[in-house]
Each structure stands twice: as structure tokens, then as C-alpha cells.
Amino acid sequence: MENSIERHSEQLSNVAAKLDAAEQSALTDPLTRLGNRRAFELAQSSSELLAATPSLALIDLDHFKDVNDALGHVVGDAALRMFAAELVGLLPKNALAFRTGGEEFVVLYPALDRRQAAAEIARFAKHLEAHNPLQMYPSPPLAFSAGVAGPAGDTGSIADLYAIADGRLYEAKRSGRGCVITGTDLEKDAAPEGLNQARTAIAGTLEAETVLAARLAEGQRRISPLVRRLARSAPNQRTDLIAQILAAIGEHCGADRAYIFRFESPHVMTNTH
């Protein structure tokens, strides 16, 4: 009988351990191992946090979709994991970090007022310049914008502070990204030079891509009618039409000549220019 009770007690302990593990897993973001949105919501009712209103920073990575599009989701996921690790590595005592969305993070600072929390975020931004998750790739460094809310200026529950920080984050994004906005006057803290350079590089890349797309669309508009005529033409008309197409391509590209290659058999290739 005693052995049966011990065995049953051990089984109950195993079940309890599994339940604890499952509960922990339900509160953890599987990619970064930070707390997830549910964990953040539970933290809002924590007696330790409610004892003194914490400051809150809402962080959003800038142009992260471009990272995924240019380098792939595997690199993007690795960048998120490294970003989270660097963020946690610099957290002051008792601060908590959560990943609440794709590239959105929340940090709670129980012992800091708004200004002190903003200083911590600025310190992290500076640290990220030297420990950037994308430094081994041909890409602008990972940058972020943030909105900060907290005591000594802001009042309300953690949910209220989140809403205030969210409004400031929106203003940071609208102001050009790569900055931290901390107060109701929407003052813009100076971003580290590296983040400003990253913002400029990304903006330049996007502008260049927009110009290139417009040029390609214009080129297609000019060439398409000639290509359609070429497809319907008789053999004795093709040389002249090819010459017209090449001339149009050269004019559009600002070149003095253009080449078009024709495969006339599996083994022979000729070109006209």
C-alpha cells in the first residue's frame, strides 16, 4: 500500500511538472523565448508591478518587412532572436521584455520613471549599433523606433501607459523612424548616428527601387507593341523590327547600342545589335 501511494504521488508530481511546463510554454514566444502577448496581459495584473506604476517602452523594428523580403524569413527569424537576446542582456534588474507582435516588443521597467526608461532605450539603441544582428549581411543595420510612457508625466494603468506609448511610437514612425519619443510634447530624442545612417540608407534604397520600377514599366510600355508586331511578322520583316526594338531599348536606357540574342538551334546562337 505504501509503495502504491508513493508511486501515485510520483505520478501526480510528474503531471504537475508537465502542467507547469505547458503553462510556461503558453506564456513564451517560441521564437525569441521572451514572454508573449498573453504573458504581457497577465503581467498587467501582477501585484509586484501594481505596487508602483512601471514605465513602459513600446519598440517596433523599422522596415523589417524589407529584411524578410531581401534576406529571407530564416535570416529575419535569426535577426529577431538576436535582437531579443541583446535586449534582454541590457535590461536593468526586475525589467521584463515581451514580444507582442511580429516585430513589436514591450519592456516594463518597474523601478524607473519615464525619463530613466527612455535613457535605457537610448542605451540599448547605442549598444545595437555595435552588436547588430544584420552586420554580416549586405543590408542596412537593424534599427527601431520606440514610444515611452511612465510616471513623472503619465498616469493610469499599464494598459493606459501602453496606449500612450503606442501613440508616441506612431509619431516616431511618422517622424522618420529610428527615434524614441518620450513625452506629451512629443520631443524627439536624438537617435544614434548609426540609426540615422540606416534610415537614410533604407530610404535611398526604397527611392531607387521606385525609380527603377517606373523605368522598367516605361520601357515595357515602349517595347511591347514592337514585340507583338515581331511575333506576328513575316520572316522578311523581322530583321527590320528587331533593329527598331534595339533602337528603342538603347534610347530608353541611354545606351549607344543594345544586344538581343536568338537561339536558332540547340547548339548555335547568334546575336543582332
Least confident of 7-21, 67-81, 133-147: 7-21
Catalytic site positions: 103
Q: pLDDT digits over 169-186, tens only?
A: 999 888 776 778 886 444
What is the average pLDDT across 50-63? 87
Which residues lie below 8 Å from residue 77, measured CB to CB, with a gap of 6+? Answer: 31
The H-or-E segment that residue 198 falls in is: helix 193-232
CA–CA distance, 209 with 51 (Å, rounded to integer): 51
Q: Determine contact, residues 171/147, Cβ cutoff 8 Å.
A: yes
Burial class (CB in 10 A: 0-12, 13-18, 19+), 256: exposed
Q: So what's the pLDDT on residue 21? A: 61
To which residue does cell 501594481 refer? 50
Confidence of residue 196 (pLDDT cuts 50, 70, 90): low
42 vs 241, higher pLDDT = 42
Q: pLDDT digits over 73-130, tens only?
A: 999 999 999 999 999 999 998 899 999 999 999 999 988 999 999 999 999 999 998 8
Confidence of residue 149 (pLDDT cuts 50, 70, 90): very high
Task: Please report, as a single letter, which amino acid is at residue 26.
Answer: A
Torsional class of 38: left (φ above 0), alpha (ψ -120 to 50), beta (otherwise): alpha
CA–CA distance, 173 with 157 (Å, rounded to integer): 24
The H-or-E segment that residue 97 falls in is: strand 96-99
Q: Determine contact, residues 189/179, Cβ cutoff 8 Å.
A: yes
Least confident of 37-46, 142-151, 257-266: 257-266
Q: So what's the pLDDT on residue 3? A: 56
9 vs 51, higher pLDDT = 51
Q: In the chain, what's the furthest Cα-to-Cα distance?
A: 103
The pTM for the full model equals 0.61
Least confident of 61-70, 84-93, 159-168, 224-233: 224-233
pLDDT for residue 54 is more than 50: yes
DSSP codes, 31-54: TT-SB-HHHHHHHTT-HHHHHSPP
Which residues lie below 8 Å from residue 172, measured CB to CB, with a gap of 6+? Answer: 145, 146, 147, 179, 180, 181, 188
* Cell numbers placing 252: 530608353
